[in-house]
Amino acid sequence: MSGVWGNNIKLSIFGESHGKGIGITIDGLKPGIEINLEDINKEMKRRAPGKNKLSTPRKEKDEFEILSGYFNNKTTGTPLCAFIKNSNQHSKDYEKTKNFMRPGHADYTGKIRYDGFNDYRGGGHFSGRLTAPLVFAGAVAKQILKKKGIIIGSHIKSIGNIEEGYFDEVNINQQILEELKNKEFAVMDDKKGLEMQKKILRAKENMDSVGGVIECAVLDLPQGIGSPFFYSIESVLSHLLFSVPAVKGVEFGAGFNIAQMKGSEANDEFYIENNNVKTYTNNNGGILGGITNGMPLIFRAAFKPTPSIGKSQRTINVETNENTTIEVEGRHDPCIVQRAVPVVEAVAAIGILECIES
């Protein structure tokens, strides 16, 4: 079943964009873990829509209700289930074009896969709305990891062709990640951030959209986490990252650039400092043989432009079996990258917790 993931930490995600609500069940959490609900709320607000002119005007508070697995501020050891009510749907926006397959969306593939019984409103179960439950699960995982000294943070590396610098893959520290978490637009270079925001607004004015790249870092991971081949750190994280709608590329460390290097340049040479094994460079992103080596874990995720745009596009009408055009109406993000920052961090936390609990 597509909505279930994990071996040690099992997730089951449910709901549709315009249904009564969405949610997630997390199985495998140990009993007695103290969970700070206010910290979860902060993570949910980072992702929530309708906060500014850069995002969709659809306003959802993303307030969650824990239905099970939580008692007296601690996990019980039974499945932890959270429900998030949908309160601001405009389902009629999708009724008149329900037979028009929106380019870039899962309308056509979803119709084929589920024999036409899928909920087409707002993308249904395929919608980015379903990342809210992922953020809830990730916020829980983050708190568990933080107790172990593991910190996760990220920044907007690029929007369209406007880029800021990379993380310092060797010396990145917790302070930088904490500062980014408190920014509404998570960039290290505020001047570049303003350029990125202008690009998003220009796309919005032109009834178009833009994509971008998020870079994430995981600090103070113990050495020896992960496995070779099928359950490598890269495999687990990539599986989750590609489950996030609109992610079309993932790279670790130097990523695709490593293919242009010589072995003498790409290899991360070792040294010992205060009895700790480190590397001078971090082209492999803190992972060797699928296993953490103690250096910062660095990866990037590429997001495609939001497919819902107001420009006229060619498509098909599956009811009449004819070629036609469509102008997508409704409330949509001109760029989803700024709201996806906590989502990337969330799935990273879930994946790391899965590997640590193995």
> Tens of pLDDT along 283-330?
999 999 999 999 999 999 999 999 999 899 999 999 999 999 998 887
CATH number for the domain including 330? 3.60.150.10
Q: How confident is the model at residue 160 (pLDDT cuts 50, 70, 90)?
A: very high
103 is in an annotated binding site: no
- Residue-range definition of the domain harbouring residue 35: 4-356
96 is in an annotated binding site: no
307 is in an annotated binding site: yes
* Partners of 141 in beta bridges: none
289 is in an annotated binding site: yes
What predicted TM-score, i.e. pTM, was given to this entire model?
Answer: 0.93
125 is in an annotated binding site: yes
Query: How does pLDDT run across 218-240, given as a tens digit for each residue?
Result: 999 999 999 999 999 999 999 99
102 is in an annotated binding site: no
342: tokens are 């906590």
| Mean of all residue pLDDT scores within the chain | 92
305 is in an annotated binding site: yes
331 is in an annotated binding site: yes
Q: Which residues of 196-235 are buried (b: 16+ CB within 10 A; e: fewer)?
A: bbebbeebbeeeebbbbbbbbbbbebeeebbeeeebbbbb
332 is in an annotated binding site: no
121 is in an annotated binding site: no
Please count the structural domains in the chain: 1
